[in-house]
């Protein structure tokens, strides 16, 4: 049979994958007994939509293509606001009305729990935000080989989309981004190209506090700002400090590691201090460049409020906060319980948590730098069995060993905050043999126009 180089199909989107793209299947008549199955990944589509696509080399088993035409559009389809949406990988749902996004996220949480055999009736509708734009307080941008600055192209991490705007970043973030991009262009500074490990500029990290207004700019480069680079770095300082008086921290980081992420071997504070202040739920926090802090502060405050409401902490109770980070949940809870012990494997975060507690006048906390499984054993030995246990693990979840250790500890109530419904459901299944019952599951949208969703779960120990 002659190989067909290109072929058009009409198909219907069946579901959305983990990266936010639509999925569909077509069956090709190859002239043989059985038709051939072709799986399609089609970005910027919505389940139920009928689309027309063109596939190069359709004799393959799988292809990623954009729709040539939306034949039957979903009622929640809208015109994307961002001029970069078609290419940029920062957002995937701008073509979808926000209420449609929320419904999809609720369905995702329900499917994740159904896959583990849980009753999904306890899952509430996802709580959205009144401000789905300009919500992120931290962004990491990448320099292209030619020195232009932006975000990775959707589905292609080798290409950088030079940005004129970003509708999920803070407005001041965008202004400073454009200033740094102009600085790099003026001095004809080359971007880092990881294929040959050459070039100067790698990333730009910007933090913007919505509560205090303070900003941090972190420039990641392969060389220190000395010698010939000193004058160029001084020009950056002059540009930023003259135009953006709320930038309280401007740092030049040296990173020569092969890994393509924002990490530092050396740091040079060009202006201000090496941290900024932020606030959440009435508490003040110090944030360094590598501090984990919720990236949507408005919704994060809702998350904290919901966690407190669901946990119902009491003044006579003891509490453990696993994966406590810098104390985002620890501090608000500590003011409502007799004593709180926080556990976190990152020592820098624990030092920050201790400092944040002191800054806020909280003296009933203990923070331990250990992994969750060993940390909970030590805390229980010194602290006793907690009445309330909270955990907010990374996307991979807490893991079976940690969950079984929690189950054996038998706290009266457990509040699990998760950024990954799939690992959440897997972890919660580990608690069922220890006599726990899920009381409520509340999804919360912290990341509009993306696939991500948070969920808070309350579990209580059965008494009979």
In a domain, 81, yes or no: no
Same domain, 445 and 374: yes
CB 131 within 8 A of CB 168: no
Listed in sequence order, the DSSP H helices in 78-211 are: 98-114, 171-186
Domain-terminating residue out of 246, 280, 314: 280
Same domain, 408 and 444: yes
Same domain, 305 and 446: yes
CATH number at residue 402: 3.40.50.150
> Exposed (0-12), middle (13-18) or buried (19+): which is 266, by Cβ within 10 Å?
exposed
CATH number at residue 53: 2.40.50.140
pLDDT in the model for residue 3 = 52
Catalytic residue among 82, 91, 166, 419: 419
In a domain, 303, yes or no: yes
pLDDT in the model for residue 460 = 97
Same domain, 306 and 429: yes
pLDDT in the model for residue 83 = 94
Domain of residue 265, residue span: 138-280
- The tokens describing 378, both together, are 């030590």
CATH number at residue 226: 2.40.50.1070
In a domain, 99, yes or no: no
pLDDT in the model for residue 239 = 98
Burial 36-55 (b: 16+ CB within 10 A, else e): eebebbbbbbbbebbbebeb
In a domain, 432, yes or no: yes
- In sequence order, which residues have a C-beta less than 8 Å from that of residue 185 and are 6 or more positions away? 147, 148
Same domain, 309 and 236: no
Listed in sequence order, the DSSP H helices in 83-203 are: 98-114, 171-186
- Give the pLDDT confidence of 103-160 residue by residue, as tens digits: 999 999 999 999 999 999 999 999 999 999 999 999 999 999 999 999 988 877 778 9
Same domain, 323 and 441: yes
Same domain, 239 and 305: no
pLDDT in the model for residue 2 = 47
In a domain, 62, yes or no: yes
- Give the pLDDT confidence of 218-236 residue by residue, as tens digits: 999 999 999 999 999 999 9
pTM score, whole prediction:
0.92
pLDDT in the model for residue 1 = 41
Same domain, 254 and 326: no
Same domain, 392 and 419: yes
In a domain, 314, yes or no: yes
Same domain, 123 and 200: no
Q: How far apart are CA 127 and CA 86, in angstroms?
A: 27
Q: Number of structural domains, the chain?
A: 3
Q: Which parts of the chain sit beneath pLDDT 50?
A: 1-2
Known catalytic residue at 82: no
In a domain, 94, yes or no: no
Same domain, 362 and 407: yes
- The tokens describing 11, both together, are 């198909």
Same domain, 257 and 377: no
Of residues 25, 14, 18, the one with CA closest to residue 112: 18
In a domain, 102, yes or no: no
Residue 381 Cα to chain centre, angstroms: 34
């Amino acid at each position: 049979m002659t190989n067909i180089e290109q072929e058009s199909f009409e198909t219907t989107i069946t579901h959305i994958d983990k990266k936010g793209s639509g999925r569909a299947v077509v069956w090709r008549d190859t002239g043989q007994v059985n038709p051939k199955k072709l799986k399609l990944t089609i970005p910027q589509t919505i389940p139920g939509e009928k689309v027309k696509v063109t596939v190069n080399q359709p004799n393959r088993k799988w292809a990623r293509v954009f729709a040539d035409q939306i034949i039957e559009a979903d009622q929640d389809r809208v015109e994307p606001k961002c001029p970069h949406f078609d290419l940029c990988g920062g957002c995937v749902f701008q073509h979808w009305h926000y209420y449609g996004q929320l419904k999809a996220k609720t369905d995702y949480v329900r499917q994740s729990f159904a896959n583990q055999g849980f009753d999904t009736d306890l899952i509430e509708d996802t709580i959205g935000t009144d401000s789905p734009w300009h919500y992120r307080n931290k962004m990491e941008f990448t320099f292209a080989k030619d020195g232009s600055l932006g975000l990775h192209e959707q589905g292609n991490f080798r290409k950088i989309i030079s940005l004129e705007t970003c509708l999920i970043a803070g407005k001041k973030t965008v202004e400073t981004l454009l200033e740094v991009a102009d600085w790099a262009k003026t001095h004809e500074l080359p971007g880092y190209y990881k294929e040959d490990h050459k070039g100067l500029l790698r990333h730009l990290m910007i933090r913007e506090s919505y509560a205090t207004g303070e900003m941090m700019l972190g420039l990641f480069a392969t060389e220190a700002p000395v010698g010939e680079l000193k004058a160029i770095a001084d020009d950056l300082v002059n540009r930023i400090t003259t135009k953006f008086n709320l930038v309280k921290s401007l740092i030049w980081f040296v990173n020569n590691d092969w890994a393509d992420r924002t990490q530092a071997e050396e740091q040079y504070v060009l202006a201000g201090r090496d941290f900024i202040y932020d606030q959440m739920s009435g508490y003040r926090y110090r944030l360094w460049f590598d501090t984990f802090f919720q990236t949507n502060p408005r919704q994060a405050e809702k998350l904290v409020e919901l966690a407190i409401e669901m946990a119902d902490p009491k003044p006579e109770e003891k509490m453990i906060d696993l994966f406590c980070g810098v104390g985002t949940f620890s501090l608000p809870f500590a003011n409502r319980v007799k004593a709180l012990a926080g556990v976190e494997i990152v020592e820098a975060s624990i030092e920050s948590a201790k400092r944040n507690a002191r800054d806020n006048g909280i003296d009933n906390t203990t923070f331990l730098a250990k992994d969750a499984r060993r940390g909970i054993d030590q805390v229980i030995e010194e602290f006793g069995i907690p009445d309330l246990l909270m955990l907010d693990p990374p996307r991979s979840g807490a893991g079976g060993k940690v969950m079984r250790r929690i189950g054996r500890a038998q706290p009266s109530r457990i509040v699990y905050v998760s950024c990954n419904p799939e690992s959440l459901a897997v972890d919660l299944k580990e608690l069922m043999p220890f006599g726990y019952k899920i009381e409520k599951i509340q999804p919360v949208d912290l990341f509009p126009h993306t696939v991500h969703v948070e969920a808070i779960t309350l579990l209580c120990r059965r008494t009979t």
